[in-house]
Every structure is written in structure tokens, then in C-alpha cells.
Amino acid sequence: MVVSAKPALQAASVEFDVKLIRKLDHAGPRYTSYPTADRFTEAFGYRDYLQAVAGLRTRGNRKPLSLYLHIPFCDTVCYYCACNKIVTKNRDKAAIYLSYLKREIEMQGQLFVGMNHVEQLHLGGGTPTYLSDAQMADLMAQLRRWFQFAADDVGEYSIEIDPRTVSGARVRRLREQGFNRISLGVQDFDPDVQQAVNRIQPEDETVKIIDAARDAHFRSVSIDLIYGLPKQNVITMAQTLTKVIKASPDRIAIYNYAHLPHLFKPQRRIAEQDLPGSEVKLDMLSLCIGRLTDAGYVYIGMDHFARPGDDLAVAQRQGRLHRNFQGYSTHAESDLVSCGVSAISAVAATYSQNVKTLEAYYDHLDNNQLPVVRGIKLNMDDALRRVIIQTLMCNFELSVPSIELAYPVTFAEYFAPEMEKLQALTQDGLLTIDADWISVTLKGRLLIRNICMVFDRYLHATPDRVRYSKTI
């Protein structure tokens, strides 16, 4: 079926080809970075990160920054979760973590003095609202002490929340503390599904928080859903979608649940016999796309939808869309500075990741070192392929002459093996190719990861896909 938008402003539609999806639904990266994080090595460390920042200063960097803070704590465990989190009711642990996080912020702030203008902030986790109101105020004060934030109408300052952990008053306080975008984890409204994943979250509780966010004048409200959870089926998904559409969030992300219990221990508590089969998952995905586009949402790409007037949809229409570790973003030119356990920074032509345990995190900071433990420095080939993958993921088309102007390559020669593989995808109807353009078709948009995988040199060198989710 072809799913297209009714409103004139909608910039994207998508064709759902079941046979093609079945054929090409392999495991592959989500390309929140290239090279992907599993390619980072410990050969890249703290001093390499310092050199990357020094390089920015030498070049007179004036680009705004994007900041990410990782708050790893949760009250309870959601069985589907694949995030780096710590489940505890001992609030003292958060107080200790906050003291170290503030120290890391100060160290990063000192590095970026003179080039510390921030236009984007995102708090993720875990559950950032695990921090108390006073702790959040303290954290935001520390950020403003070391970084210069753009005005509220310019900057994009977002926080992920668990609606079960906040009140309307807390939402209003978050707005006063400087956040102007809010993202709510919902996953599914069906009681049986919620029970199966250990996340009991009544609809009215969630809707009250959405209403509170609107009353507090948040610029954007986002909802996260997951398809493929235990006990889900087309009927329960339709009921959830009806409730979500009625709540009318500005953005909706619908993620494919990847059942990888060998990697993520909480998933071992999910009964595999309760998981929907691949055909049911495809039916649910088709339903989601149809219902949301009929309701006026723009299909941004991958698993993201937005209202036509939302900044994400506007950025896509204007060719300014970007993709990073938080998904799609409107700030393409920003270096990403990340703080907290497991957080990943993207500064200049490098990626760097912090240690993943609290003990190691505290040890590094006690030794007055940033907790960078692994990463990668991009060479010219990495940078070239990153641009190609980013452009295809965000814009669904690539100008060959623009690549040849920016890099010392003749595209058809440099990417001869890749072009041969792309020709096979053209026969499947995923894209069209001429002398100047590679253009993704409506069929290809859902399978954009498959197209981008063609350009992934590391994937072809070591094609171990056990670590990845299915592309659909």
C-alpha cells in the first residue's frame, strides 16, 4: 500500500511493500553515528579527545555546541530496556553521581572556554527525572556556570521523562529550569502489554503530563512507542494509536523491539512465546504508518513522525536535518559534548565514549581525567562515508557532484563496488540512480538502513550482525 499525507505541508510519504520488506529485513546498524559505536577502540583515549578539542580551538571554532547528559538511574526495570541504566531506590547514589557529573561538566567547560555557546541540550537515561527538583536545579545551574546557552526561542533544550515519576507541578518546574522540549516514554497503553514488560502506566496519568507540558508552554511534546513487545497484536496496537493520536503529541517515535537477551539481561524476563511473530510485527508497522500519516503526521524517516509545523519536519524540508545518538536532530553543525557514564561525544572528526560503570567513572574523575575510555578518529574515507550515510538517512537523496566537490574522489570509481550493490537495490525498486543523483524511492524509505549499509566499509570487513536489530 502507499501511505501518503493529506495536509499539503507533508514532505514525505512511504510505500509499504510487504514482500520486499520480508526479503530485505536483515540485521543492521541504526547509524546514529558512522563509524558505529561498536567500531570504537581503546586505542583512542583521553589525550586524543583533548587533541580534538585543541584542534577546534586552533581552527577558531565558532559553531554552537550540543550537550548531552546521561542520568542512568531508574526506580524500576522495564524488561524491554537496552539502555545503560542502574535500577535502585537508594537516592544517595544519585547524589554521589551528581557531584561527579558536575565535576565532569566543569572540566568540559574549562576545555571549551571561548567556544562554549550551546544551542542544544538533551538529558537522557535511565530516567533524568529520577533526580529531585532541587538536584535538577543544581545541575542546570552548573551547566549555565560553564556554558553560554542561546535564548529559549533559539535553543532546543529537551529532557526524557517517565510520566510515572513526575507531577504537573514538576513539569512546570522543568519548564522554569530551562527545558522547552519534553519526551515521554509510553511504549504501549494496553494493560496486558504493560504487565508483560513491567511498566504499568495508565493512560490518564500520561495524558495529564502531556496537558501539563502544554500548559507550561513546552515547544514540543514527544511520545515513544514500541512495536513487537510481548502480548501485542494489531488490535492492541490500533487501540494504543487511537489514544496517542487523541493526545496529539508533536513528535512520535515508534521503535522496533529488538529481543537480544544475550546482550541485555532484563530482556531475559520476557517470555519469548508472548512475542508477536514477524508477520504480526509487519502488520503493526503498516498500521502505525497508515494511522499516523492519515492523522497528519510527516514521516521523517526510520521510526520518526512529526507534525508538519514541528521543527524536525521543517528542518527536513529545508535540508537541515541531522542524525546523532539521540536520533534525528535539527542542529547539523554542532559538535556534541556528552557527560556521564557511557555518554558518547562527537567532536571534530572524532567520537569518544565514557566508561560504562560508576566505579570507573568516579576513578577517572578522582584522578582529574575525563572518563573517556574508547573512541575513534575518522580518516578521510570515514568522513566521506559518514556524509553519504547522514545525507541518505535524513534527505533520502544524495547529490553526486556535491560529494565530488567536497572530497577528492570520482564517485563512480571510488565507490565502484558499492554502486554495483546499489544496482541490485534499484532492481528491487528501493532507489533510482543517474549521473548526478542517488534518490531513495517511497519503497526504499522504510529500508533506508539497508541502503546505507552498502556504504559501511566496516560492516563488510567484519559482517557480524548478531549485535544489531533487524532493519524493520
Same domain for 75 and 23? no
Segment 81-138, tens digit of pLDDT: 988 889 998 889 999 999 999 999 999 999 999 999 999 999 999 999 999 999 999 9
Decide if pLDDT at 340 tops 60: yes
Q: How many CB atoms lie within 10 A of CB 463?
A: 9
Same domain for 76 and 2? no
Can you give the CATH number for the domain in which 96 is found? 3.80.30.20
| The overall pTM is greater than 0.85 | yes
* 260/244 Cα distance (integer angstroms): 27
CA 105 to chain CA centroid, Å, is 22
Note whether residue 116 is domain-resident: yes
Decide if pLDDT at 1 tops 50: no
Same domain for 149 and 88? yes
Note whether residue 311 is domain-resident: yes
Same domain for 82 and 4? no
Nearest-CA neighbor of 300 among 287, 291, 311? 311
Per-residue confidence (pLDDT) for residue 465, from 0 to 100: 52
Quote the DSSP letter at residue 41. Answer: B
Per-residue confidence (pLDDT) for residue 2, from 0 to 100: 37
- The band of 464, judged by pLDDT with boundaries at 50, 70 and 90, is low
Can you give the CATH number for the domain in which 394 is found? 1.10.10.920
Note whether residue 343 is domain-resident: no
Same domain for 259 and 383? no
> 438 forms bridges with which residues in the sheet?
398, 433
The residue with cell 510481548 is 230
Per-residue confidence (pLDDT) for residue 9, from 0 to 100: 34
More confident residue, 5 or 212: 212
Residues 6+ apart with CB under 8 A from 50: 111, 370
Per DSSP (E only), the strands in 208-248 are 220-227
Compute the mean pLDDT over every residue in the chain, rounded to the nearest whole number.
91
Pairing between β-strand 117-125 and β-strand 156-161 as defined by DSSP bridges: parallel
Note whether residue 364 is domain-resident: no
Average pLDDT over residues 200-212: 95
Nearest-CA neighbor of 341 among 323, 324, 325, 365? 365
Per-residue confidence (pLDDT) for residue 84, from 0 to 100: 81
Nearest-CA neighbor of 105 among 63, 55, 71? 71
Average pLDDT over residues 161-174: 95
Same domain for 117 and 241? yes
Segment 27-79, tens digit of pLDDT: 889 898 999 999 999 999 999 999 999 999 998 877 899 999 999 999 999 99
* 10/419 Cα distance (integer angstroms): 31
Question: What are the grid coordinates assigned to 272, written together?
Answer: 519469548
- The band of 10, judged by pLDDT with boundaries at 50, 70 and 90, is very low
Give yes or no for a contact between 364 and 45, defined as CB atoms under 8 angstroms apart: no
Per-residue confidence (pLDDT) for residue 8, from 0 to 100: 33
- The band of 326, judged by pLDDT with boundaries at 50, 70 and 90, is confident
Per-residue confidence (pLDDT) for residue 178, from 0 to 100: 97
Segment 134-155, tens digit of pLDDT: 999 999 999 999 999 999 999 9
Quote the DSSP letter at residue 113. Answer: T
Per-residue confidence (pLDDT) for residue 146, from 0 to 100: 98
Same domain for 191 and 265? yes
Note whether residue 366 is domain-resident: no
Average pLDDT over residues 388-409: 95
Same domain for 83 and 173? yes
Per-residue confidence (pLDDT) for residue 168, from 0 to 100: 96
Q: Is 114 exposed, middle or buried (0-12, 13-18, 19+ CB in 10 A)?
A: exposed
Same domain for 111 and 226? yes
Same domain for 42 and 23? no
Residues 6+ apart with CB under 8 A from 102: 138, 139, 142
Average pLDDT over residues 194-203: 94
Segment 218-234, tens digit of pLDDT: 999 999 999 999 999 99
Q: Which value, to the nearest 10 degrees, does the dihedral of the CA atoms of residues 22, 27, 30, 31 take?
A: -120
* C-alpha gyration radius of the chain: 22
Note whether residue 345 is domain-resident: no
Question: What are the grid coordinates assigned to 399, written together?
Answer: 547529490
Rounded to 5°, angle at Cα 232 from 227 and 237: 65
Same domain for 22 and 72? no
In total, how many domains does the chain have?
2
- The band of 467, judged by pLDDT with boundaries at 50, 70 and 90, is low
Q: Which domain holds residue 141?
A: 37-337
Per DSSP (E only), the strands in 139-247 are 148-149, 156-161, 181-187, 220-227
* 296/5 Cα distance (integer angstroms): 6
Per DSSP (E only), the strands in 380-436 are 397-399, 431-433
Per-residue confidence (pLDDT) for residue 260, from 0 to 100: 86
The answer to which of 329-333, 338-342, 363-367, 462-466 has the lowest mean pLDDT is 462-466
Same domain for 319 and 215? yes
Whole-number percent of the chain with pLDDT over 90: 78
Burial 270-307 (b: 16+ CB within 10 A, else e): beeeebbeeebbbbbbbbbbbbbbebbbbbbbbbbbbb
